[in-house]
Amino acid sequence: MSAAEEGSVFHRARGRTLDAFPAEKESEWKGPFYFILGADPQFGLMKAWSTGDCDNGGDEWEQEIRLTEQAVQAINRLNPKPKFFVLCGDLIHAMPGKPWRTEQTEDLKRVLRMVDRAIPLVLVSGNHDIGNAPTAEIVEEFCQTWGDDYFSFWVGGVLFLVLNSQLYQNPSQCPSLKQAQDQWLDEQLSIARQRHCQHAIVFQHIPLFLESIDEDDDDYFNLSKPTRKKLADKLIHAGVKVVFSGHYHRNAGGTYQNLDMVVSSAIGCQLGRDPHGLRVVVVTAEKIVHRYYSLDELSEKGIEGDLMDLIKKK
């Protein structure tokens, strides 16, 4: 694959937007559609978790390769095709500066190149991709490898916002980047209010909360209480309906006022009892319907009839 072709696969988010969906063609509602959401392929975690050395383990990732290949094959077989495939962060396990980071990145790219070219990739940054306390240099490395760390795009009258949740979790090493994302998000939410978009949907790696807006700070799996409440109120005021995230390696979620927080389990390592899987998200004029499928279920049976009826409804 040439550099230009690779750029068209992994660098679709440039200039804070996604080139696969020109806003001038996608800003009006055109009818129901669906997309596929995955999270945490995290090449290397399964070995690291099994050995109890998550900081320095992870020198093998064949299991994650096979699981992500299965996910890609299942997505490619879907008919009609999803509008896009979004990965909600922790693409790889090796933190910045750790061994095997380059090798994990190259192996994940090799697998993701197999996604049908008619299905754009939407890539979200996770804490393992840019570090628990990211620096400007590491964020730039992510952008050069995978595309912008935060951006927006329109699909059929729906506004999608991709956020860098590490800038909320710990911006201590890059406060100017947090300030820039905050300003950008305020501008995007103003557009959402002014344009009266059909829906507004957010993707980020770390959940606002796992079950309740009032739950205790976890210091890892959710955002701090003041941060989550401020961000959630801002999203609700702009009409955002749902936030999708990963990070927890289990399915979870809850509702705050009229904002749904959907935490989706992993393609890769499971930390609970959920199967390795993907989430099918159907967007209709009235609602956003989602269902988690194991990789085996989606591979063998595809999308169930009730969801297909919503997708095909005119």
CATH code for the domain in which residue 77 is found: 3.60.21.10
How many domains is the chain partitioned into structurally? 1
Domain annotation covers residue 9: no
Among the listed residues 189, 156, 147, the one whose alpha carbon sits nearest the alpha carbon of residue 22: 156
Domain annotation covers residue 4: no
Among the listed residues 28, 13, 40, 185, the one whose alpha carbon sits nearest the alpha carbon of residue 108: 40
Domain annotation covers residue 6: no
Residue pLDDT, tens place only, 144-193: 999 999 999 999 999 999 999 999 999 999 999 999 999 999 999 999 99
Contacts of 161 (CB under 8 A, 6+ apart): 150, 152, 185, 188, 200, 201, 202, 203, 240
Tokens of 187: 């501008």
Domain annotation covers residue 233: yes
Domain annotation covers residue 1: no
Tokens of 295: 């990789």
Query: From CA 314, how far away is CA 295, in angstroms rounded?
Result: 29
Per DSSP (E only), the strands in 54-157 are: 85-87, 121-123, 151-155
The radius of gyration of the chain's CA atoms, rounded to the nearest angstrom, is: 18
Domain annotation covers residue 262: yes
- Which domain covers residue 114, as residue numbers? 14-312
pLDDT of residue 12: 83
Q: Which pTM was predicted?
A: 0.97
pLDDT of residue 74: 98
Residue ranges of the chain with per-residue pLDDT less than 70: 1-7, 314
Residue 243 bridge partners (DSSP): 202, 261
Domain annotation covers residue 152: yes
